[in-house]
Amino acid sequence: MNILAECKGAKRIGISGHVRPDGDCVGSCLALYLYLTKSLPDADIKVFLEKPADIFSEIAGFDRINSTFGEQETFDVFFALDCSGDRLGEAEAYFLAATKKINIDHHISNSGCGDLNVVRPDLGAACEVLYDLMDKEILDKDIAMALYIGMIHDTGVFQYSNTTPDTLKRAAHLISFGFDFPRLIEETFYQKTYLQTQIMGRALMESIRFLNGRCIVSVIDRKTMDFYNVTPKDLDGIVNQLRNIKGVNCAIFMYETGVLEYKVSMRSDSCVDVAQVAAYFGGGGHMRAAGCTMKGTFHDCVNNLSLHIEKQLLENALR
Ligand code: 5GP
Ligand code: MN
């Protein structure tokens, strides 16, 4: 697919990504926004996202993100990035009403929801999919930085097993544009505020191991989030920290989103395919990082997840 050829003649172009946008989502949406704005100066181009974390405010175009959505608008071309249409949240209406729908993603759980689909589960980040689709002559420092941020977030700074030699070749080209990548990694990936660190400490301290220590779970309820005055964005990274624990094959982190409702994040190693577990409960993601929303008490949720995880641990042990 040639992005610019597909947008030829389009007067109104929209871009959006998934709810609770992460680094890859913000990076890919802004990289495409910058790329299209630069290449198609006469088109009216809009980018819609739920308000992203402030750490991403250095990415060019951040202040152009539309988080209020507003009334129904019709676009000639609408891009859904880093997700399928049903995870666009309020932007889904724009996507469904668009004349041409384009879906660019890397989630194994996405079977493609557009008129045109480029879904590459073999790539670590949606930003890598976009990089491959972009004309390299048009890339500049701002676009390169946006793509790079998406890549570091979804590959855990090139540590996770979704990192390939081609990931590093793409990143090598991107850093040649000369942005301050050590500072970006530090400030967008590793650095936490004091309150974020405190609530992480609490989640770690109150975590519970089960299935002989191969699984670990922790939960933060609404009351605790209010006490520390944090929002869900401040809980990023807790599940990764749980997964770092020696002997743990599968880590689960949950936070309360409503009455008897939890947002669930899972991380695993090669023993458990958490995308499968999440998909069973209506969510999705990648083999080693996935999520879903579940109803019930905390214990109901853990019991239900545990059945699926245990089954996989047993099956994989037999292989
Ligand atoms: P996280 O745990 O960091 O929120 O998400 C891990 C991965 O799973 C990400 O790729 C994210 O897009 C995906 N994911 C998380 N929650 C959901 C969900 O409710 N539905 C789907 N389809 N994917 C999810
Ligand atoms: Mn992604």
Q: Residue 169 in contact with residue 67, Cβ under 8 Å?
A: no
Q: What is the pLDDT of residue 72?
A: 84
Average pLDDT value for the chain: 97
User: Binning pLDDT at 50, 70 and 90, where does residue 158 land?
Assistant: very high
Q: What is the pLDDT of residue 83?
A: 97
Residue nearest ligand 1's atom 9 by CA? 285
| pLDDT higher than threshold 80 for residue 319 | no
| pLDDT higher than threshold 80 for residue 42 | yes
Q: Residue 43 in contact with residue 74, Cβ under 8 Å?
A: no
Pairing mode, strands 261-268 and 289-295:
antiparallel
Residue nearest ligand 1's atom 17 by CA? 291
Share of the chain above pLDDT 70, in %: 99
Mutational pocket test of ligand 1: of 265, 272, 295, the residue with most ligand atoms within 8 Å of the beta carbon = 265
| DSSP annotation of 137 | T
Kindly report, residue by residue over 79-105, the tens digit of the pLDDT. 999 999 999 999 999 999 999 999 999
Average pLDDT over residues 283-305: 97
Burial of 111 (0-12, 13-18, 19+ CB in 10 A): exposed
Q: Ligand 1 in contact with 283 (CB < 6 A)?
A: yes
Residue nearest ligand 1's atom 2 by CA? 265
Q: Residue 54 in contact with residue 63, Cβ under 8 Å?
A: no
| DSSP annotation of 265 | E
Q: Residue 233 in contact with residue 19, Cβ under 8 Å?
A: no
User: Binning pLDDT at 50, 70 and 90, where does residue 316 land?
Assistant: confident
Distance 292 CA to ligand 2 centre (A): 15
Q: Ligand 1 in contact with 113 (CB < 6 A)?
A: no
Q: Residue 13 in contact with residue 75, Cβ under 8 Å?
A: yes
Q: Specify the ligand 1 atom closest to the Cα of 82.
A: 12
Q: What is the pLDDT of residue 109?
A: 87
Using DSSP's 3-state secondary structure scheme, residue 177 falls into coil
* CA-closest candidate to residue 77, choices 2, 130, 13, 34: 13
| pLDDT higher than threshold 70 for residue 276 | yes
User: Binning pLDDT at 50, 70 and 90, where does residue 313 land?
Assistant: very high
Kindly report, residue by residue over 232-264, the tens digit of the pLDDT. 999 999 999 999 999 999 999 999 999 999 999
Distance 156 CA to ligand 1 centre (A): 15
* Six token digits for residue 15: 């871009």
User: Binning pLDDT at 50, 70 and 90, where does residue 317 land?
Assistant: confident
